[in-house]
Amino acid sequence: MLGAGSWGTTFAKILADGGADVMIWARRPELAREIQEARRNSDYLPGINLPIGLRATSRMDLALAGAEQVYVCVPSQTLRQNLIAAEPHLGANAAVISLMKGVEKSTGHRMSEVIAEVLPIAESNIAVISGPNLALEIAREQPTAAVVSSTSLETAQSVASISRNKYFHSFVNTDVIGTEFGGVLKNLIAVAIGIVDGAGYGENTKASIITRGLVEMTDFAVAYGAHPDTLSGLAGLGDLIATCQSPLSRNNTAGRLLGQGYKLPDVVNRMQQTTEGLASVGPILELARAKGVEMPIVEQVRQVLAGTLAPKDIAPHLTTDDEPQGERTLDGQAQGGSAVRRAFKRALDQLRNGGRDPGGDRP
């Protein structure tokens, strides 16, 4: 396990409780010593006793020695440099599994794409895990589930068979794009929910944003090649519900602080851990524009982060449009004038680009 934050440590516990031999790499030697000797990670999981068989080190070469599966859970913007440091110590046939829910700001790439770029391993040896996974609840052994996704069903099943125990169940799919984007996009909607919560709006507003947010998530992911069913499963809707409604969610908490009037630098300073949603807004909107996908909720979040929209003004904009339109369904169908025009425009753009979307070569 590369990474000893709350989710990395929790997932190491999941693996150890399932019978795996697990070594955590922690960047800070003192944290590695606490995990190894005291069976605690007081910085990130206060009050949680870690399994006796769980080991930790601050030496990456020792952490990776003989590893058959390497789980990576570091801040998304540091992934590339950590993979470069890890590459000399990786076994030739090791599977690499991403637990991260972000995109690289400089490239807009998903975490599995960064792994494929940096490491000399086959795509079939890369997997991602996502779902409604609030670390502290799982560390307390409250039951939940997640999705393991890989282009290789065999790899997904192999990872899922290790990533399960009496309180954690793993399902599998081969839709890596949908699984990863579900984990990224729900963070942005959770920030929006936090903003309106902090601004004093109630449950109707939040339910509207969650529902319309799922539509934005699905439109975006499908435009990049995902299957729509993935976004209505654990990696999409499941994760969205958990992240939007829980005070344990860092993205929800950051949004609430923004809604209460704190400026972005103050919010970043108050958060003790990385808040992936804040870093992902810009790259996701750039990717959305490349595919002609409209994301009004995420755009409103961007404006709040930039200080150009007051938090109290966000909710009316989130649930209205220039003209009445049909409610889009999760299978990509649409009823109503503006929705139809958007779909028609996207089809025309594809025809102009030889059957391809203007933002890339995926059909």
Q: Is 110 annotated as a binding residue?
A: no
* DSSP state letters, 142-185: --EEEEEE-SSHHHHHHHHHHS--SSEEEEEES-HHHHHHHHHH
* Residue closest to 70 by CA, chosen among 155, 141, 194: 155
Q: Which of 13, 105, 166, 186 is catalytic?
A: 186
Q: Residue 175 carries which side chain, given as an amino acid letter?
A: D
* Paired tokens of 238: 């499941």
Q: Is 276 annotated as a binding residue?
A: yes
Determine the Cα–Cα distance for residues 49 and 35; give it in Å rounded to an integer: 9
Determine the Cα–Cα distance for residues 111 and 109; give it in Å rounded to an integer: 6
CB 270 within 8 A of CB 278: no
The Cβ of residue 118 has, within 10 Å, a number of other Cβ atoms equal to 17
Interacting residues of 154 by C-beta distance below 8 A, sequence separation 6+ = 124
Q: Is 7 annotated as a binding residue?
A: yes
Q: Is 135 annotated as a binding residue?
A: yes
Q: Is 239 annotated as a binding residue?
A: yes
* Paired tokens of 180: 């990863």
Q: Is 5 annotated as a binding residue?
A: yes
Interacting residues of 203 by C-beta distance below 8 A, sequence separation 6+ = none
Query: Is 30 exposed, middle or buried (CB count within 10 Å of its CB: 0-12, 13-18, 19+)?
Result: exposed
The Cβ of residue 222 has, within 10 Å, a number of other Cβ atoms equal to 21
From the centroid of its chain, how far is CA 120?
A: 24
Q: Is 25 annotated as a binding residue?
A: no
Pseudo-torsion of CA 192, 193, 198, 201, nearest 10°? 110
Q: Is 213 annotated as a binding residue?
A: no
User: Is 291 labeled as catalytic in the residue annotation?
Assistant: no
Q: Is 353 annotated as a binding residue?
A: no
Q: Is 6 annotated as a binding residue?
A: yes
Angle at 113 between CA 147 and CA 357, to 5 degrees: 95
Q: Is 3 annotated as a binding residue?
A: yes
Determine the Cα–Cα distance for residues 150 and 268; give it in Å rounded to an integer: 33
CB 54 within 8 A of CB 30: no
Catalytic residue IDs? 186
Q: Which residues are annotated as a binding site for NAD(+)?
A: 3-8, 135, 250
Q: Which residues are annotated as a binding site for NADPH?
A: 6-7, 27-28, 44, 101, 135, 250, 276
Q: Which residues are annotated as a binding site for sn-glycerol 3-phosphate?
A: 101, 131, 186, 239, 249-251
Q: Which residues are annotated as a binding site?
A: 3-8, 27-28, 44, 101, 131, 135, 186, 239, 249-251, 276
Q: Which residues are annotated as a binding site for substrate?
A: 101, 250-251
